[in-house]
Amino acid sequence: MAFTSFRFVIFLAFAVAAYFLTPKRCRWVTLFVANYVFYLISGGKFFVYLLATTVTTYVATVRLGNMAAKNKEAFTKAKETLDKEGKKAWKADFTRKKRRVLIPALLFNFGILAVLKYSAFVTGNLNLLFAKLGIGTELPLFRFLLPLGISFYTFQSMGYLIDVYREKVEPERNFAKLALFISFFPQIVQGPIGRFNALAEQLYRPNEFSYERMKFGIQLMLWGAFKKMVIADRVAVMVDTIFGFPETFGGCYVAVAALGYCIQIYGDFSGGIDIAAGAAQIFGITLEKNFERPYLATSIPDFWRRWHITLGAWFRDYVFYPLSLSKFFMKLGKKGRKFLGNYVGKLLPVLIPQFIVFFLIGIWHGAEWKYIAFGVYNGSLIVLGILFEQPLQNLAKKLSIRMDCFSWRLFQVLRTLVLVALGKIITRAPGVGASAYMMRSMVENWDTDIFFQGGLLTLGLDHKDLWIFFLSCCVLLTVSLMQEKGIAVREALAKQNLYFRWVIYICAVFSLILFGMYGLQYDASDFIYRGF
């Protein structure tokens, strides 16, 4: 059930009506039922995987909660008789016991994700390796269809599991309520990845109906649909043409396609997130921010702080910090100072975990070598950025370059956009070889007929489509710049005269009807991150 489909609008309307007509104390139950109806309609035959994750998460977290309560009671009685070393040993022993519950649950759930998403990739590459080595063995190749939202609900539930293990949150002992948290239908398809302490209370409380909240929610959904259907799906025609035949087009076409794909994937992904956040807002639930104008970033680290924020935060809290603060990396940092110098050595506990994080983010995106290359590319940029940050600042001071002016910020934004666009070529091209060929053509075969000989009109868009795309991007850029300056657009619109507001609303609806991409070949369910 695609977010841009009429079926979703009807489903949402019935779910909202049922929710607010239900007695307050039972509203969370209505939302729970709506979640499972949505999932059964959208990906019913894969329901067993969602249920397996929910059951194992529930059993493990309740077990951890019981262990923590018993341990606290026992420690309170025994702490008077324990010295410092005894308390330390007690804590270490309890941590080992908790890990016996945590690790099997993590392995089971991430194992499901790994088998369904990566088994064909691993098996296929092993068979290629065996063939090259002359080994006669050929492993059976199984290809699985991915359950709806499996990456997102797995990461969300495992984040909650780790938080319970760390005793940051109390385990939810009502199975249906935990299932509601894991399966909340607006976010299960493509995020954002929620945290229990931020989302659960909102889901369980009896939210009151609010016309203001419903109005803002619908506005956000319309804005998301505009980004998806008017901008992303329109430029996709041109992007698909160029990336579909990489050997046919020269460097200027590749540059246009790379920039176009940057716009496409942002409009597609952030548009879907806006629809999800708007739908949740109607229920009185605020989802976590997942985008913050990423193409206005001034560096690659800044870009990743603004792009898919909840995924980056997940890897930061559950992968980067545990690695960076581990005894192994602390010791590595001390040894590194001896052999690599104080400056590089002290950065090793940051640099290596950062590279690992972005390598994993690359793998998270898909089971292909190009996604691994994407992770290596971004990890390398992050590491080099951290490594050379201070030397480059010193160089700028020596050259008397002002870093507090518009021209410098514009340079930083454009530089970052170029680096991001090169990374997008890696993920969008058919393979690593094709992406390398396309990047090379940008240097060796820079043709300009795309602009001066009508080349743009050969890529599937006519004059009307190009003008709609250009003007829509201007609207998107204007709104982004306003938000960057701290202007709350929806709140500012709400302060305008009634007639003006309704003109804006009507124009927004008719822009979708008149300029949205439809037709026999259009697939409304084709959100890019839905496949991740």
For the chain, the domain total comes to 3
Q: Are residues 224 and 196 in the same domain?
A: no
Q: What is the pLDDT of residue 251?
A: 85
Query: Contact at 8 Å (CB) between 387 and 351?
Result: yes
Structural Rg of the chain based on CA atoms:
26
* Bond prior to 140 in cis (omega within 30° of 0): no
- Angle, in degrees to the nearest 10, between helices 342-365 and 327-340: 130
Q: Are residues 317 and 226 in the same domain?
A: no
Q: Is residue 315 part of a domain?
A: yes
- The pLDDT of residue 520 is above 50: no
Residues 160-219 have pLDDT tens digits of 999 999 999 999 999 999 999 999 999 988 889 999 999 999 999 999 999 999 999 999
Q: Are residues 227 and 357 in the same domain?
A: no
Neighbouring C-alpha atoms within 13 Å toward the C-beta of 465: 19
Q: Are residues 25 and 14 in the same domain?
A: yes
Q: Are residues 130 and 272 in the same domain?
A: no
The region of weakest confidence among 151-160, 186-195, 457-466 is: 457-466
Q: Are residues 518 and 401 in the same domain?
A: no
Burial of 476 (0-12, 13-18, 19+ CB in 10 A): buried
Confidence bin at 531 (pLDDT 50/70/90): low
Q: Are residues 149 and 165 in the same domain?
A: yes
Question: Residue 418: which H helix or E strand, with range?
Answer: helix 406-428
**Domain final residue, candidates 186, 209, 232:** 209
**Domain final residue, candidates 181, 209, 237:** 209
Q: Are residues 119 and 80 in the same domain?
A: yes
Neighbouring C-alpha atoms within 13 Å toward the C-beta of 517: 23
Dihedrals phi, psi of 307, to nearest 5 degrees: -105, 130
Q: Are residues 397 and 516 in the same domain?
A: no
Q: Is residue 57 part of a domain?
A: yes
Q: Is residue 1 part of a domain?
A: no
Q: What is the pLDDT of residue 58?
A: 97
* Cα-Cα end-to-end distance for the chain: 17
CA distance linking residue 160 with residue 156, whole number of Å: 6
Dihedrals phi, psi of 170, to nearest 5 degrees: -80, 140
Residues 347-387 have pLDDT tens digits of 899 999 999 999 999 999 988 999 999 999 999 999 999 88
Q: Are residues 400 and 360 in the same domain?
A: yes
**Domain final residue, candidates 400, 428, 456:** 428
Compute, in degrees rounded to 10, the torsion defined by CA atoms 397, 400, 401, 406. 120
Between 171 and 3, the more confident residue is 171
- Structural domain of 180: 6-209
Q: Are residues 312 and 452 in the same domain?
A: no
pTM above 0.85, yes or no: yes
Q: Are residues 264 and 316 in the same domain?
A: no
- The pLDDT of residue 521 is above 70: no
Q: Is residue 511 part of a domain?
A: yes
Q: Is residue 515 part of a domain?
A: yes
Q: Is residue 293 part of a domain?
A: no
